[in-house]
Chain A
Amino acid sequence: MANYHQPDEHGHYGPYGGRFVAETLVPALDELQAAYAAAGQDPEFRAELHSELRQFVGRPNPLYHAARISQELGGAQIYLKREDLNHTGAHKINNAVGQALLARRMGKRRLIAETGAGQHGVATATVATRYGMECTVFMGADDIQRQSSNVYRMRLLGAEVVAVDSGTRTLKDALNEALREWVTRVEDTFYVIGTVAGPHPYPAMVRDFHRVIGDEARAQCLEQTGSLPAACIACVGGGSNAIGLFAAFIDDPEVRLIGVEAGGLGLASGKHAAPLNSGRPGVLHGNRTYLMEDGNGQILPTHSISAGLDYPGVGPEHAYLKDSGRAEYVVATDEEALAAFHTLSRREGIIPALETAHALAYAFKIAPQMRRDQSIVINLSGRGDKDIHTVAALEGIVL
C-alpha cells in the first residue's frame, strides 16, 4: 500500500467516514476543517505543538525493550511504546493538546469533550487549564459511578462534569450529548473529540495529532533494532492509539498491523465491543463505519472490562484498513486482558491500562510463534492506575 493517502477531500475512506450530521452542525465542521487546514500549513502552529509535546506532555517517550517477557515468551522481541509515561498517563493528551491549540487559534474560549473511562476527559480538562479555557466534560451517568476517581481529577482541574442520563448512560450517549451541546453553543465552544470517530474532519485530525506515536516508534525501532518491526499491535475501541501507531507504518507492507478489539465475555456471548469482528457497516456519530447494531439498525449496548473500549463503533479508517486487508483486527477477551495486565505488572514492573492489556494479550499469544530476531511494537497506550479498583474488585478486594 505505497503512497497511502486517506481520506479524500470529503472525509471518505472508501465507503466509510464522511459527514453524517444535522444541517446545524455543517457550518461548524466547515469552519473547523478550514482552521485545521490553515494551522497545518502554519510553521508557528507546528512549532508550538512540537514544543508543547516536548515540554508539557514529555515527548518523546521511550520505545522500551521488555527483555524479561521476551525471554520468557521465547519468540519475537517485545517493544513497548510508552505512551503511559505521557503527562496524564495515556496517549489521549497528544490529541487534546493539538485540538486545544487549534481552539485557541480559532478564538474559542471553551472546550467540551465526551469521555468514557475519563482519560480523554482528564486530558481535555488538563489542557483547558493549561491554556486558560473553560471546560465541560460529558460523561455517562453509569461511567461516572464506575470511574469516580477520574471524575474527581477532572473537577480538581477545574472542569465541570455533566452526567448524561440518556440511552445506555455510557460513552456513546456522552458523545451524543456533547454534539448537542456543541450545536447549541458553537460560537464560543470547541468540541474536542477524543477518538478517531465523529464527522469529518475529526477522524483525520485526531489521527494526525496521534501520528507522533508511530513516527517516534518507527525511528526508535530502526535505531534500536536496525530494522522495522514484524508487527505493530494496539488495542482498538474508537481506535485513536492504534491509528496513531499504524499511520507511520501503513506504507511499509512488511509490517503487520494488528488491532485488538474488546472480546468481552467472548464473541459468541454477544457481550463484547468488537464491531470490526462481528458488526456491520452503518452510520453513527457522524460517520459510516462498522457498528454493533441489531437487525433494525438500533445501536446495541456493549460490554468490556475496560471502559475505554466500551464503544459500539470504531473509527472509519479502521473500517477501511480492515476491508482493504492492510490491517488485521482480532479480539482479546476480558479474561485474556486481565491475565496480560497481571503478567506485565509482575514481569516488567509496568501496570498497564486494561485497554492496553488487550493489545498485550494478543502480542503474548503470537510472539512465541515468531522468530527471536523479529520484533513486535505494542502501543502501551495508558497506565493502569485508574484500573486498580476494577481489578481489585474482581479479586474480591475492597480498597
Chain B
Amino acid sequence: MSRLATRFAQMEGRTALIPFVTAGDPSPAATVPILHALVAAGADIIELGVPFSDPMADGPTIQRANERALSKGVHLRQVLTWVAQFREQNQHTPIVLMGYLNPIEAMGVEDFAREAAAAGVDGTIIVDLTPEEGQHESTVLRAAGIDPIFLLAPTSGSERVAAVRRLGAGFVYYVSLRGITGAVQRDWQEVLGRVRQLREALGLPVAIGFGIRDAATARLLARGGADAVVIGSALVERLAEATDVDTAVELAHAFLTPVAAALAEPTQVSA
C-alpha cells in the first residue's frame, strides 16, 4: 500500500490536513525544518511546491514565493534532496510535489520518476498536465511508485472525470473555484456537494484546494465531510515574513496548529 493510501486509510473519517509550502521559501535552509514543523503541528500530508519561473495558475502570493526561491537558485533536483533529508526522520508523512511540467521535462520524466521515488516522494500534482496530455507521464510515474494526482474543477465534465479515474491515483485535487490560488470562495456547500459526487465517481479521496485560508473554513469543510483540505497561500503569506530559519519554523507551527485543532474536533456527520 502506498504511503498516501495508508494515510487516508488511517484517517478513519477525519479530514486530512494538507499544508502547502514552496520549496526554498523563505530560504533554502528553512525548507526541511518547516516540513518537520508542519508535521509536528498536525499536517497529515504535505504539498511541496517546486518553483517555476512562469506559474500561470498561481496568484500573487505563490508567484512571489516562486520568485524568492528561484532568486536563491532553487531547482528540482535540490528539492528532491530536501525530501530525502526529510525522510531520514519521517517515513510516514506523504509528500506530494506540486509544480509545472517544464522543470520535470527538463530533467526527463523517467529520471525524475526514479529519483523522486528514491527520495521518498509519494505523489505529483503537475498543474499544467491534463490527463489527455499526461498519459505517458502518468504511466512512468506509476511504474516508479509515484501517484499522479490530477486536478478537477467545478467545470469539469463527466468525460474528464472518467479520464482522471483512468490515470489518477492517490487522491484527486478539487479546485474549489474558477480562478487562481489564493482567491476567495464563497459557496462551500456547493463545493462539498460536488466533492461527494466526485468521490463516488472516482473511488479516490478528494482534497479541496484553492480558497481555504483559515481554521474556520477548514472546520466547515471537515464537518461537511471533506476527505482533505489544502491550505497554501495563507501559510505561504505568513512564512514570507520570516527572516531566519527559527522564525519560519515558529510561524509554520503557529499557523497550522489552530487549523489542525479545528479538524480534530468531533464531526457531526459521517456519510
Cβ-defined contact, B102 with A282, below 8 A? yes
Q: Is A23 touching B151 in the complex (CB atoms < 8 A)?
A: yes
Complex CA gap A238/B178 in Å reads 28
Is A166's CB under 8 angstroms from B67's CB?
Answer: yes
Tell me if B152 counts as interface (CB < 8 A to partner A): yes
Question: What count of chain A residues pass the 8 Å CB interface test?
Answer: 35
- Interfacial residues of chain B within 88-111, with CB under 8 A of chain A in the complex: 100-107
Nearest residue, chain A, Cβ from B174: A23
Chain B positions within 8 Å of A284 at CB level: 54, 102
Binary interface encoding of chain A residues 176-188 relative to chain B, with 1 for a CB under 8 A from any of its CBs, else 0: 1001100110100
A5 surroundings in chain B (CB, below 8 A):
none
Given A291-B102, A298-B103, A184-B54 contact (CB < 8 Å): no
**In the docked arrangement, what's the CA distance between A175 and B53, Å?**
13
CB distance from B28 to the nearest CB of A (A): 14
Contact across chains for A283 and B105 when beta carbons are under 8 A apart: yes
Q: A295–B54 contact, CB under 8 A? A: no
State the CA gap A27–B160 with chains docked (Å). 10
B57 and A24 form a contact (CB under 8 A): yes
B54 adjacent to A22 (CB under 8 Å): no
Within the assembled complex, what's the spacing in Å between the Cα atoms of A282 and B101? 8
Whether B130 and A23, one on each chain, are in contact in the complex, defined by CB atoms closer than 8 angstroms, is: yes
Instruction: Give the docked Cα–Cα distance between A362 and B8 (Å).
Output: 62
Which B residues between 169 and 197 are near A, CB-CB below 8 angstroms? 175, 178-180, 183
Task: Name B107's closest neighbour in chain A (CB-CB).
Answer: A297
A26 touches B102 (CB 8 A): no
Closest residue to A31 on the B side, CB-wise? B155
Given A183-B57, A282-B106, A285-B54, does the pair A19, B132 have CB atoms closer than 8 Å? Answer: yes
Known: A286-B128, A297-B76. A179 touches B56 (CB 8 A): yes
Check B128–A298 contact: CB distance below 8 A.
Answer: no
Interface SS, B side: loop
Interface string of A152-186 (1 = CB under 8 A from B): 00000000000000110000110110011001101
Alpha-carbon separation in the docked complex, A19 to B168 (Å): 18
Asked if B157 CB lies within 8 Å of chain A CBs, one says yes
Q: Is A296 in contact with B75, judged by CB distance below 8 angstroms?
A: yes
Shortest CB–CB separation between residue B44 and chain A, in angstroms? 23
Most chain A CB inside 10 Å of its own CB: which residue of B51, B60, B106, B132:
B106
**Known A27-B153, A176-B55; contact A20-B128, beta-carbon cutoff 8 A:** yes
A143 beta carbon closer than 8 Å to chain B: no
Which residue of B52, B58, B64, B157 is within 8 Å of A298 (Cβ)? B52
Chain A residues with CB under 8 A of B59: 180
Q: Cβ of B106 and Cβ of A184 under 8 Å apart?
A: no
Other contacts beyond A23-B153, A293-B102: 16, CB < 8 A: A19-B130, A22-B57, A23-B151, A167-B53, A173-B54, A176-B55, A180-B179, A183-B57, A183-B180, A283-B100, A283-B128, A296-B106, A297-B76, A297-B105, A298-B52, A298-B103
Interface CB pairs A-B, < 8 A, 30: A20-B128, A22-B56, A22-B175, A23-B150, A23-B151, A23-B152, A23-B153, A23-B156, A24-B151, A26-B156, A27-B153, A166-B60, A167-B67, A172-B54, A173-B54, A180-B56, A180-B59, A184-B180, A282-B106, A283-B100, A283-B101, A283-B128, A284-B102, A291-B102, A293-B106, A296-B103, A297-B52, A297-B103, A299-B53, A299-B102
| Closest 10 pairs between A and B when the two form their complex, measured CB to CB | A297-B106, A297-B103, A296-B75, A27-B155, A23-B151, A22-B57, A184-B179, A297-B102, A298-B53, A299-B53
